[in-house]
Structure formats: structure tokens, C-alpha cells
Amino acid sequence: MMLETSRLLLRQPGLDDLDALTELLADPEVMRYIGLGETGDRLDAEAQLARMQRAWSLDGFGRFIVVRRSDRAVLGRVGLLAWDPGTWQNGTRAELGADAELELGWTLRRQAWGVGYATEAALAVRDWAFSELAARRLISLIHPGNSRSVRVATKLGERFEREVITFRGVPAALYGLDARELTGSEAG
């Protein structure tokens, strides 16, 4: 599965992405608003890659690796992650069931910030999720201090709905968008 935009390729993760994921997880500024805000090492990147591949295998969707078309540089990840809306624990939709909330999330290298890549990639995933996966709704869980991600969420059409606390005790602002809120021209 691959999505293409004018500047980006979004593809399923592979073993050759391990170095780029390790670099992403090791950057304290990139990880500042992700999960507990902790950096990770190569073992963490291996575990994350395995979870990403497992989601694709079980659900048929997951997080894409974002590649810049011009030089084939890996910029980060953008895609879908399933959450249990009762406990706010993530997993696969196969494990959590049909009532799982689908989060559209993005994490890019610092060098890729500020030029619209997150919005461009997330719009492609949003449209794919609504048109090809027939998702009824997408959410984004955003750390309350992450103004950059709030801007991306609003550009996607998401609106603030409420605060939640994840299973790890992390507060997050929940932004959401129902498929029916998009007109045919915006959704595909």
C-alpha cells in the first residue's frame, strides 16, 4: 500500500526504516509531545517497527513511513492507530474491536517541520481512510502544549472535542472529524 502526494510518498514500514525510526525516537524535541515525552533507542525502534508492521498485517492499515519524493529521505511516520475509547489504550482494531477510535497521527524529523509535510501527508491519509477504509470518524490525540499539531489537526478539519487521559496517565486534547462533515470534493 502506497499513497502519493505532490512532494511525498507514504508507504508501509520495512526493516530498512529502522535507522530512520531510531533517529526519530532519539530526538528529544521530536519526542517532547509523544506519549510520555521520552526518547527511545534502537531497541525501542525495533519494537515500534514490529508494532507498526503487526497493525498492517492484522488491520490492513497503520502508520505509513513518509518519504520525500525529491531525494527519497525518510521524514517520519504518519498514519492510523487504534485506541480503546474506554481505557485510552492503543492496539490494533482486530484486538480492540469495531468501536475502537482511529487516530490520525504524525511524527516527523525536526528538519521536516514548518514546510507543510505533516499536513500534506495527514490529508492524504485522512482522505484514504474515509474513502478506502470507510472510516466513520478520525481523531487526533494531541498533547495540550503542542500548538504545531493543533494547527495540523485544524487544517484537516478536526475540531477540539474534549480532554482525555491515556492509559499511561498522559493528558491529551482529543480533536475529531466525522466523515459526514467532509463534502465529496474534500474527501477524495
pLDDT tens per residue across span 91-120? 999 999 999 999 999 999 999 999 999 999
pLDDT over 50 (residue 187): no
**How far from 122 is each of 39, 54, 65, 117, 145, CA to CA, in Å?**
23, 21, 12, 8, 20
Which pLDDT tens digit goes with each residue over 45-79?
999 999 999 999 999 999 999 999 999 999 999 99
Residue 18: CA atoms inside 13 Å, Cβ hemisphere, count? 9
Strand 8-11 relative to strand 2-4, pairing: antiparallel
- Listing DSSP states for 101-123 in one string gives EEEEEEEE-GGGTTSSHHHHHHH
- Among residues 103, 110, 115, the alpha carbon closest in space to that of 166 is found at 103
CATH topology of domain 2-181: Aminopeptidase (3.40.630)
Q: Which helix (H) or strand (E) holds 131?
A: helix 117-131
Kindly report, residue by residue over 150-185, the tens digit of the pLDDT. 999 999 999 999 999 999 999 999 999 999 988 554
